[in-house]
């Protein structure tokens, strides 16, 4: 029995990427099933899937004493490749396919303004939280503020300006909290903010920025809106990565000193 179990584990470990796809697929299926049965779709399946992923990562880290969550478990090591930068970036870009040029043009100036306002507003809120928790140096404040932009912008900015690993971890956490809040909260207030057409979806993506949160929220509202929100939220991430280590850092340094 033990030999059979060892052989099975060894087979799964050697085919890590396939095992990762199977595990993620089962998690997504379960998430959508629970979303449909327990919330009637109001809490989208992708939001539940992210919550399950974070919970499993925490359990994996505690169980192994490691730093990489479930990746430290030999059987699930393939998730490290599946969740790596290559497939992540491909998934982010692919969500923008399906948007039509004519609808994008209708967004016009409002889409550009939403990008700038969204990045700056998120940064200011994140920086204010950092100051409230006792951070006084410009590097830490900028990194945590950039994390509130998105959990990708945070570590990119932190690495560029020399932030500590602990501060970069906090910036990632801030971005994840924002993504979950956007994903869970937006469907409940979609009618109030008129989030029901491509133009408002693009403005929403530009204001919120977090691609995973925006796509999850729009998928729960209307799947046809996902490409439009993904388009501006992807630009938002790029803009944040440019502004974080430069304009925003210099502004923070001028306000708080070194």
pLDDT at 94: 58
- Mean pLDDT over 175-196 rounds to 83
For position 45, what pLDDT does the model report?
A: 75
- 155 pLDDT tier (thresholds 50, 70, 90): confident
Average pLDDT over residues 143-160: 88
Q: Is a pLDDT exceeding 70 seen at residue 102?
A: no
More confident position, 113 or 131:
131
pLDDT of residue 125: 92
**pLDDT of amino acid 237:** 81
pTM of the predicted structure, to 2 decimals: 0.70
Predicted pLDDT of residue 99: 52
Q: In the predicted model, what is the mean pLDDT of residues 137-160?
A: 88
The residue-averaged pLDDT of 190-215 equals 83
Mean pLDDT, range 45-71, rounded to an integer: 75
Question: What distance in Å separates the CA atoms of residue 209 and residue 229, rounded to the nearest whole number?
Answer: 9
Q: What is the pLDDT of residue 105?
A: 62
Question: Mean pLDDT across the stretch 205-232?
Answer: 82
Mean pLDDT of the chain: 79
């Amino acid at each position: 029995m033990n030999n059979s179990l060892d052989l099975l584990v060894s087979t799964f470990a050697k085919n890590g990427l396939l095992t990762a796809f199977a595990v993620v697929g089962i998690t997504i299926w379960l998430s959508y099933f629970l979303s449909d049965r327990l919330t009637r779709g109001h809490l989208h399946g992708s939001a539940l899937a992210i919550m399950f992923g974070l919970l499993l990562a925490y359990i994996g880290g505690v169980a192994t004493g490691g730093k990489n969550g479930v990746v430290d478990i030999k059987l699930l090591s393939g998730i490290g490749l599946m969740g790596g930068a290559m497939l992540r970036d491909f998934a982010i870009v692919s969500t923008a396919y399906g948007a039509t040029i004519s609808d994008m043009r209708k967004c016009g100036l409002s889409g550009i303004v939403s990008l700038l306002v969204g990045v700056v507003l998120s940064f200011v809120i994140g920086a204010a939280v950092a100051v409230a928790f006792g951070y006084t140096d410009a590097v830490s404040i900028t990194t945590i503020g950039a994390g509130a932009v998105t959990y990708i912008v945070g570590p990119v900015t932190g690495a560029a300006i020399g932030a500590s690993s602990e501060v970069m971890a906090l910036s990632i956490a801030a971005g994840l909290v924002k993504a979950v809040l956007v994903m869970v909260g937006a469907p409940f207030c979609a009618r109030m903010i008129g989030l029901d057409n491509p133009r408002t979806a693009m403005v929403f993506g530009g204001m919120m920025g977090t691609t995973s949160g925006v796509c999850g929220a729009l998928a729960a509202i209307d799947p046809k809106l996902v490409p439009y929100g993904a388009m501006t939220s992807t630009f938002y991430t790029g803009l944040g990565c440019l502004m974080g280590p430069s304009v925003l850092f210099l502004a923070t340094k001028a306000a708080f000193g070194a």
